[in-house]
Structure 1
Amino acid sequence: MKRMLEGCRGFFNLTDEEKSMYNGKHVLDPIRCGSGFNASVDELYFWRDHLKVIVHPDFHSPNKPTGFSNVLQEYTKAVRDVVRGLLEGISENLGLESCYINRALDLESSLQILIANLYPPCPQPELAMGLPSHSDHGLLTMLIENGISGLQIQHKGKWVNVNAAPGAFLVNTGDHVEILSNGKYGSVLHRAVVNDKTTRMSISVSNGPSPETIVSPVQELLENGSCPAAYIGMKYKDYLELQQSNKLDGNSCLNRVRI
């Protein structure tokens, strides 16, 4: 975890010219980076730099900094192993075979994306937002940070500060765990706030099904029609593109597939 944080810090320390070659536009571009100083609703501004890299099923990595690619590949492979174990537990908790989710969603070809976020000190944090309220696409998001707080989750209608323990993952359940479980697991609504004193960095790894997989409620959970499906099925890559639209916020994308 420490090496991954150091590697991402090294990337953000590259010159603007070095980083400009990764100014992708499409959500499925292999490598994208940019600054989040964009106007948003309520006169807030997104105050962050970010790096997004698709690392599975095909592995991609920036060429710099030196050694970053090796650290990235080792780290994200370890995260996939952890996620696989967690999903086996979720499958069993749903009354399914432990391998059900891994098999049904074709996780051998899963789409895994690393997102590194850098939140520099903001002179007017009350007028800015690191990331707006949103839920994650995919199954599980594994997050680490540099010890500076800024993550908030919505609990009982209120925003609550959450800090990742040193050397541990903070795990967010994503929209597609909610969909496949037919609401038995809920997707976590969260946001990132900024401060005026210290730079915060977080690294999240989104773990989803294969891009071509249509995700819908598990048939075995619908109890022969007595518990109707609460969500329609949608191909994962189509859902991801929909959620990344600037027109969506909060869990509005999840609401699009609710029945």
Structure 2
Amino acid sequence: MASSRVRLNTAATEVQRTETSADLDEPVVKEEILPVIDFGLLTEGTPDQRSKAVRELNRACQDWGFFLLVNHGVPEKMREEMMDKFKGFFDLTPGEKGEYANTDVMNPIRHGTGFNTAVDDVRYWRSYLKTCVHPEFHSPTKPPGFRELLREYSTRIRDLGMKLLGGIWESLGLEESYMKEALELDSCYQVVVGNFYPPCPQPELATGLGPHSDHGLLTFLYQNGVDGLEVKHEGRWVRVKPSPNSYIVNIGDHMEIVSNGRYQSVLHRAYLNDRSTRLSIVSVVGASLETVVIPAPPLVSSDRPPAFRGMKYGEFVEYQQSHTLKEKSVLELLRV
């Protein structure tokens, strides 16, 4: 059966809802847009403006788990140059890139295709470069200037993430200093991933990356102007178009654990097209790899007992990266 599509335009962003044959018995939602969070108001606004921004952050995390972050302070020139450097890496010869190809999922620099070719049960139309940039900084030496720019860019994102986490802790009624110590955020685990999705001759028969949630606390997505992100919202897949000068931010599995299920990580996936190359830069900020992450004690009560058991963050990441990508399967292993 042919699919039907409802397309919506807004000043903030654009979302497309794709209807498949499985959706036709469900009501069509007429309007869907990602919430917008103004980072400037959260960090530099008046007390009233900050309070409003925190409330909006609370609603965004509860209702969507995804939001657009505007006025984030990362220069557009830096973001464009970072995108160019990643493109430069993917343009290297197979031999030059091959030095970073390996099977150790916790290697600090890793280049490959798909998700994990050792365990993938499908072949994803994707190449990637994954670099660990904190607590120790790692980077390829090519292309020229990549290392220096990546260091500066990742530092900006980490600072952005810590300030945004401060607003999220406030929205949950948690003390920022307590959470910083509990999650050992001075030694936070941060990775930056470049994704390369070339045009696919038959995009309807392939996928860029299957449905999954992210392992960390927060994920920041910056992409070129090519569509490719679908988010699961209220049981349906919603297509999100890139919006200029913003980040798409989503909460990860460990935010769901820390919040004791109040904020839930959300499934998302990458889809393909037969016309244009899609490039994206994904930055994930999490707890220290040595931290056993548990629901924050202030959010646990007799009425709301712990929803998850604890596990070292590093063990969680290694398990997820070593197994087939499948929705929220690793998080479900910890559910009480």
TM-score of Structure 1 vs Structure 2, range by shorter chain = over 0.9
Counterpart selection for 1:145 from 210, 220, 223: 223
2:145 matched to 1:67? yes
SS in structure 2 of the partner of residue 63 of structure 1 = coil
Q: Which runs of 5+ in 2 are unaligned?
A: 1-78
SS in structure 2 of the partner of residue 186 of structure 1 = coil
Q: Return the index of the structure with the highest Cα Rg.
A: 2
Q: State the 1:88 CA deviation.
A: 0.5
Moved over 6 A (4+): none
Query: Any idea what the Cα deviations from partners look like across 1:131-171, whole Å, max 9, x if unmatched?
Result: 00000001000110001010101011111111232221110
Q: State the 1:36 CA deviation.
A: 2.3
SS in structure 2 of the partner of residue 129 of structure 1 = coil
CA contact 1:91–1:100 (8 Å) conserved in 2: no
Counterpart selection for 2:99 from 21, 24, 27: 21
SS in structure 1 of the partner of residue 105 of structure 2 = coil
Matches within 5 A, 1:103-114: 103-114=181-192
Equivalent-residue separation in structure 2 for 1:138 and 1:167 (angstroms): 23
CA contact 1:30–1:60 (8 Å) conserved in 2: yes
Matches within 5 A, 1:188-203: 188-203=266-281
Match of 2:14 in 1: none
Counterpart selection for 1:238 from 309, 312, 315: 315
Equivalent-residue separation in structure 2 for 1:101 and 1:146 (angstroms): 34
Q: Which runs of 5+ in 1 are unaligned?
A: none
Equivalent-residue separation in structure 2 for 1:55 and 1:256 (angstroms): 28
Equivalent-residue separation in structure 1 for 2:165 and 2:104 (angstroms): 29
Report % sequence identity: 50
Matches within 5 A, 1:34-53: 34-36=112-114, 41=121, 45-53=123-131
> RMSD of aligned C-alpha atoms?
1.4
CA contact 1:153–1:161 (8 Å) conserved in 2: yes
How many residues of Structure 1 are paired with residues of Structure 2 in the alignment? 256
Q: State the 1:100 CA deviation.
A: 3.0
Query: Any idea what the Cα deviations from partners look like across 1:157-215, whole Å, max 9, x if unmatched?
Result: 11111123222111010000000000111102100011111000011011111111000
Q: Normalization by structure 2: what TM-score?
A: 0.74
Q: Match for 2:251: what amino acid?
A: T
Q: Match for 1:185: what amino acid?
A: Y
2:238 matched to 1:165? no
CA contact 1:34–1:49 (8 Å) conserved in 2: yes
SS in structure 1 of the partner of residue 322 of structure 2 = coil
CA contact 1:45–1:127 (8 Å) conserved in 2: no
Counterpart selection for 2:257 from 179, 196, 209: 179
